[in-house]
Chains A and B, each alone.
Chain A
Amino acid sequence: MRRAPFLNRWLFFALVVAAIAIFMDHDYYYTLLNFIGIYTLLVVGLNLLLGYAGQISLGHAAFFGLGAYTSGILTATCGVNPWLALVAGLAVSGGAAFLIGIPALKLRGYYLAMATLGFGIIVYIILNEAQGLTGGPSGLTGIPSLALGSFALNTPRRLYLLIWITLGLILYLSANLVDSRTGRAIRALHDSEAAAESLGVDTFRLKLKIFVWSALYASLAGSLYAHALNFIAPASFGFMFSIKLVTMVVLGGMASIWGSLLGAGVLTVLPEALVVFHDFEVVIFGAILMVVMIFMPRGLVRGILDLYEFRRYKREGGVVSS
């Protein structure tokens, strides 16, 4: 890849984010954008694990929830500084990922899927049942907003810049990670663990690293989410949300950093744009997962481009062999 267009992409991202901050004047849209930003953080993390490293997690909502609840409990109940609470959330989520990852990442395929799923459900149940700590099913209220010095980030518009600058940095970091030596090792791991190992990649450590890394992204997203809403309830962190995250990854495209933004964006805007969508939400998620995985395993954008190129190739008289 040439260097210049790569640079331009980041410049473009920064310009769009800045332009929106300057010209747009509607709290509703900022709220929507904030959700997209937070979900993209989660999806990029999951994509590193699922798309790049080829390790599935069906319990990713748990790390999101651990971050959100650590932030929520420490600030609302104990009065800790929100930034400190955010760091504590990272420690809790990262620690949990490390501890669960050591035994779980020795497993493959279905076994790994079930281990992460089981972990996710256990965390969800604890959030519901440990009422003294988490407020139980009715949730945790009174979570303060984040503040920079005396400047409270208590409106969607104020929070918007923080979330999207964070997201920009995370995207940049992830793109660099994927393009680095470690990134190539991760992809090798995806294609063949044995081959990667024979070339000197410590596959287990690498898997663990990516797992913890993606849990940290999720925790960061969780803390931002808690402070953005000032309220959290376990229902946001259940099995269905884990599936929603996988759907976002699949729709945007496995192993695509920018696709994560697309997947999170589309699946956040759609339910808002179409009110009827609400009843059909579950059906549509299911259909997306199936159709994209069966017919366009490389994601929506790549899949449509592939179809287009295939058509053009055929039109120009190319020979098609399946």
Chain B
Amino acid sequence: MENFADLLQYLISGLTNGAIYALIALGFGIIYNATTIINFAQGEMVMLGAMCAVTLYQLSPSLPLAFLGAMVLVTLVGLVFERLALRPVKDPSPITLIIITVGGAVLIKGVAMLLWGKDAYTLPPFSGNSPLPVGPATILPQNLWVLGITAISVTGLEIFFRFTLVGKAMRACSYNPRAARLVGIAAGRMVQLSFGVSAALGAGAGILIAPLTLGVYDMGTMLGLKGFSAAIIGGLGSLLGGVLGGLVLGVAEALATGFISSGYRDAVAFLLLLLVLFLRPQGLAGGRK
């Protein structure tokens, strides 16, 4: 059963990557739901999360502190980004917003290169590095952390958006901002909140994946694009769809790496994106259009 062991191993690594894409896709989805903006700088929040955690860990070697500190820092960056880059925009057409947020992504990446250089940094795994057996394959504790925290985040967000007043208010803003304002919801506050939450999620994804892939200044671009692809594959605006999209994307990539060639891994991801865009632009979960 050599092949079965391989397949299982690819599935495990695919699901782990997929969970990271899912977290990033959630970030895209939350902002999109509150503002109908796609924040192309989302991937850079992932990178910033990883890099800040690495630096904080070097300053004081405590992982929980590094985790929380990095999330707080990146949340601040997300809030500042919304305040400085998006609020002053007078003509919020998609093209303008795409160019501004792409510009923001490039700017953040460039600043990160100046701050951290081009070297890759390591972050120790959260709980050891000894692989656990799963049938004929093995799984790293860090993979379990990724999957577990993603599952908790997804559940938490679903509960937040469905059952809390603030969550409902945010959803109201996405359906109709003017009507939401009329019933007394501070729409501006909700927009800010959405940027803060999604920056925090992105940072979390970055910190989770740093022990597996190292942290580099340019890791955010691809992760961001894949996360957005996951959001589109699942159906833009549907949070659970984004999670589904992320897992599908991660597994497809892992299988492509295993059975075609690792060089074409990214090509498979974007081919999947094009197929979904061309054949089913509303996404697998068929979010509202």
Contacts and interface: CB of A to CB of B under 8 A. Distances in A.
- In which size bucket is the chain B interface? 35 or more
Interface string B239-281: 0000000000000000000000101101100110110011001
A295 B98 CA distance: 15
A95 interface: no
Contacts of B105: 286
A290 B107 contact: yes
Interface string A97-115: 0000001100111110111
A74 interface: no
Given A114-B273, A115-B277, A282-B110, A289 B102 contact: yes
Contacts of B38: 110
A286 B109 contact: yes
Contact of B106 (A50, A109, A128, A285): A285
B100 A289 contact: yes
Nearest to A50: B95
B24 to A, nearest CB: 14
A239 interface: yes
B221 interface: yes
Contacts of A129: 261, 263-264, 267
B228 interface: yes
B123 interface: no
Contact of A246 (B102, B107, B277): B102
B96 interface: yes
Interface in A57-80: 58
A247 B108 CA distance: 16
A294 B85 contact: yes
Nearest to A55: B95
Interface stretch (B47-55, B86-94, B208-216): B86-94
A111 B281 contact: yes
DSSP majority for the B interface? helix
A279 B114 contact: yes
B104 A107 contact: no
A118 B110 contact: no
Given A111-B277, A121-B266, A290 B103 contact: yes
B277 A104 contact: yes
Given A56-B98, A121-B266, A125-B264, A114 B221 contact: no
Contacts of B274: 115, 118-119, 122
A30 to B, nearest CB: 30
B229 interface: yes
A287 interface: yes
Contacts of B263: 125, 128-129
A305 B232 CA distance: 40
Interface in A246-280: 246-247, 250, 279-280
B166 interface: no
Nearest to A136: B263
A319 interface: no
9 contacts: A111-B281, A118-B271, A125-B264, A129-B264, A284-B110, A286-B103, A286-B105, A287-B103, A290-B104
Interface of A: 50, 54, 56, 58, 103-104, 107-111, 113-115, 117-119, 121-122, 125-126, 128-129, 239, 243, 246-247, 250, 279-290, 293-295, 297
